[in-house]
């Protein structure tokens, strides 16, 4: 199973590749995005572009904090499932997330960039400061039911 830091890095990378963290998407307004960037033609929601399989994320008001949190949980569950099922590390996880086989060529770059995010997150904080409200057991980066 992936560490919470790896999952955080994967979610950051996935959100960047899927939506560039566009404000309109975060606020639930994909229709404001340019043509070709409108959340898979209206079939996806949130920064991780979850589809109808994420029923809880779709049941909540699009763009709400609760919806984003649930969509994040769905993304984590799918990534963890593909990580275990594809058995190709993060490249396989990103391939499977994209709905492709476990060997989708663009996934290699996503996995490399995720490792860069992970390295950045591992850097010491300036002046020894530490972030508050996040840590290895933060529920915001764990799938529901995976609490430690």
Q: What is the pLDDT of residues 9-54, one digit of tens each?
A: 999 999 999 999 999 999 999 999 998 899 999 999 999 999 999 9
Q: Is the pTM of this model over 0.85?
A: no
- DSSP string across 54-98: -HHHHHSPTTSHHHHHHHHHHHHHHHHHHHHHH-SHHHHHHHHHT
Quick check: 145 pLDDT over 60?
no
Angle (deg, nearest 10), helices 89-97 and 65-86: 120
Computed over every residue of the chain, the mean pLDDT equals 87
Buried b (16+ CB within 10 A) or exposed e, 2-13: bebbbbbbbbbb
Residue of 15, 25, 5, 17 whose CA lies nearest to 104: 17
Question: What pLDDT does residue 91 have?
Answer: 96
Tokens of 89: 């590390």
Report domain extents, the chain.
4-121
Question: What pLDDT does residue 131 have?
Answer: 62
Question: What pLDDT does residue 31 have?
Answer: 94
End-to-end CA distance of the chain: give it in Å, rounded: 12
State what percent of residues in the chain have pLDDT above 70.
86
């Amino acid at each position: 199973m992936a560490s919470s830091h790896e999952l955080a890095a994967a979610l950051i990378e996935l959100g960047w590749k899927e939506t560039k963290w566009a404000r309109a998407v975060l606020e639930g307004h994909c229709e404001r995005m340019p043509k070709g960037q409108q959340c898979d033609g209206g079939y996806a929601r949130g920064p991780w572009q979850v589809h109808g399989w994420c029923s809880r994320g779709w049941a909540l008001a699009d763009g709400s904090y609760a919806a984003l949190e649930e969509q994040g949980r769905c993304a984590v569950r799918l990534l963890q499932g593909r990580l275990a099922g594809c058995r190709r590390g993060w490249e396989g996880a990103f391939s499977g997330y994209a709905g492709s086989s476990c060997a989708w060529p663009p996934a290699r770059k996503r996995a490399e960039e995720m490792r860069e995010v992970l390295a950045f997150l591992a850097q010491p904080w300036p002046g020894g400061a530490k972030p508050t409200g996040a840590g290895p057991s933060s529920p915001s980066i764990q799938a529901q039911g995976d609490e430690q």
